[in-house]
Chain A
Amino acid sequence: MMPQDIRTSLVCNLVVGEEIRGKWNHSKYRIRRRLGYGATGAVYLADSDRGVVALKIGHDQMSITSEVNVLKRFSKVQGKVLGPSLIDVDDWVARNSTYPFYAMEYLKGETLFDFMKTKSSEWAGILLVQLLTDLHTLHQAGWAFGDLKPDNLLVTGPPYRIRWIDVGGTTVMDRSIKEYTEFYDRGYWGKGSRKAEPSYDLFSAGMVMVNLAYPSRFSKNGDPNKQMQAKITGSPMLKPYASILEKAWNGKYRYAEEMRNELVLLLNARDKARSPKKQSQQASQQPASRQAQKKKKSSFITETFLVFTFVFVVYLFYMLGQTM
Chain B
Amino acid sequence: MRNKGTLRQILLITDGCSNQGEDPVAMAALAHEQGIAVNVIGVLNENAPEYHRQGLREVEEIAMAGGGISQVVYTKQLAQTVKMVTQKAMAQTIKGVVNAELQQILGSQSTMEDLPPDKRGEVIEVVDEMGETMNLEILVLIDASGSMEDKMLTVQESLLDLSISLNSRIGDNEFSIYVFPGKRSEAEELLSWSSKLDSIGKIFSKITLGGITPTGPAIKEGIAAFGRKRSSKRRFLSDDAPGYTNESGM
Q: Which residues on A are within 8 Å of B, measured CB to CB?
A: 1-3, 24, 61-62, 65-66, 68-69, 72, 89-91, 98, 100, 174-177, 187-188, 193-195
Q: Which residues of B contact A177 (CB under 8 A)?
A: 168
**Stretch of B1-9, B109-117, B186-194 with 4 or more beta carbons under 8 angstroms from chain A:** B109-117
A175 engages B170 (CB within 8 Å) = yes
Complex Cα distance, B133 from A175, in Å, reads 9
Q: Which residues of B contact A61 (CB under 8 A)?
A: 112-113, 120, 124
A175 engages B132 (CB within 8 Å) = yes
Q: A61-B120, A193-B164, A194-B165 are in contact. Are A1 and B170 (CB under 8 A)?
A: no
B164 engages A66 (CB within 8 Å) = no
A3 engages B60 (CB within 8 Å) = no
Q: Which residue of A lies closest to B127 (CB)?
A: A62
Interface of A is mostly: mixed
Complex Cα distance, B169 from A234, in Å, reads 37
Since A62-B127, A68-B117 are in contact, a sample of 15 more A-B pairs with Cβ atoms closer than 8 Å, ordered by chain A residue number, is A1-B60, A2-B53, A3-B71, A3-B72, A61-B112, A61-B120, A62-B95, A65-B124, A72-B121, A91-B113, A175-B170, A176-B132, A176-B165, A194-B168, A195-B168
Cβ distance A267 to chain B, nearest Cβ, rounded Å? 33
Complex Cα distance, B125 from A90, in Å, reads 17
Cβ distance B4 to chain A, nearest Cβ, rounded Å? 15
B164 engages A174 (CB within 8 Å) = no
Complex Cα distance, B127 from A69, in Å, reads 12
Complex Cα distance, B117 from A90, in Å, reads 6
Q: Which residues of A contact B73 (CB under 8 A)?
A: 3
Q: Which residues of A contact B167 (CB under 8 A)?
A: 193
Q: Which residue of A lies closest to B74 (CB)?
A: A3
Q: Which residue of A lies closest to B81 (CB)?
A: A3
Q: Which residues of B contact A66 (CB under 8 A)?
A: 124, 128
Complex Cα distance, B124 from A142, in Å, reads 19
Complex Cα distance, B91 from A91, in Å, reads 21
Cβ distance B9 to chain A, nearest Cβ, rounded Å? 16
A-B contact pairs, 13 of them (CB 8 A): A1-B60, A1-B71, A2-B72, A3-B77, A62-B95, A65-B124, A91-B113, A174-B170, A175-B170, A187-B161, A188-B161, A193-B164, A194-B164
The answer, yes or no, to whether B14 is at the interface (CB within 8 Å) is no
A175 engages B60 (CB within 8 Å) = no
Complex Cα distance, B73 from A90, in Å, reads 33
Complex Cα distance, B128 from A68, in Å, reads 13
Q: Which residues of B contact A2 (CB under 8 A)?
A: 53, 72
Q: Which residue of B lies closest to A68 (CB)?
A: B121
Complex Cα distance, B164 from A77, in Å, reads 30
A1 engages B77 (CB within 8 Å) = no
Cβ distance B76 to chain A, nearest Cβ, rounded Å? 11
The answer, yes or no, to whether B215 is at the interface (CB within 8 Å) is no
Q: Which residue of A lies closest to B171 (CB)?
A: A176
Q: Which residues of B contact A98 (CB under 8 A)?
A: 113
User: Which 4 pairs between the two chains have the least Cβ-Cβ distance?
Assistant: A176-B168, A194-B168, A89-B117, A65-B124
Complex Cα distance, B220 from A144, in Å, reads 42
Residues facing A in B70-98 (CB within 8 A) are 70-74, 77, 91, 95
Q: Which residue of B lies closest to A100 (CB)?
A: B117
Q: Identify B169's interface contact among A91, A175, A187, CB under 8 A.
A: A175
Q: Which residues of A contact B117 (CB under 8 A)?
A: 24, 65, 68, 89-91, 100
Cβ distance A23 to chain B, nearest Cβ, rounded Å? 9
Q: Which residues of B contact A72 (CB under 8 A)?
A: 121
Cβ distance A295 to chain B, nearest Cβ, rounded Å? 62
Most-contacted residue by chain B among A2, A68, A176, A177 (CB, 10 A): A176
Complex Cα distance, B174 from A113, in Å, reads 43
Q: Which residue of A lies closest to B112 (CB)?
A: A61
Q: Which residues of A contact B53 (CB under 8 A)?
A: 2
B125 engages A69 (CB within 8 Å) = yes
B168 engages A193 (CB within 8 Å) = yes
Q: Which residues of B contact A100 (CB under 8 A)?
A: 117
Q: Which residue of A lies closest to B167 (CB)?
A: A193
Q: Which residues of B contact A175 (CB under 8 A)?
A: 132, 168-170
A24 engages B169 (CB within 8 Å) = no
Q: Which residues of A contact B72 (CB under 8 A)?
A: 1-3
A65 engages B120 (CB within 8 Å) = yes
Most-contacted residue by chain B among A65, A68, A91, A187 (CB, 10 A): A65
Q: Which residues of A contact B169 (CB under 8 A)?
A: 175-176
Q: Which residues of A contact B95 (CB under 8 A)?
A: 62
Q: A175-B132, A176-B132 are in contact. Are A65 and B164 (CB under 8 A)?
A: no
Task: Annotate B110-148 by CB proximity to A: 1 below 8 A, 0 otherwise.
Answer: 001100111011001101100010000000000000000
Complex Cα distance, B53 from A61, in Å, reads 30
Cβ distance A24 to chain B, nearest Cβ, rounded Å? 5
Complex Cα distance, B74 from A157, in Å, reads 42
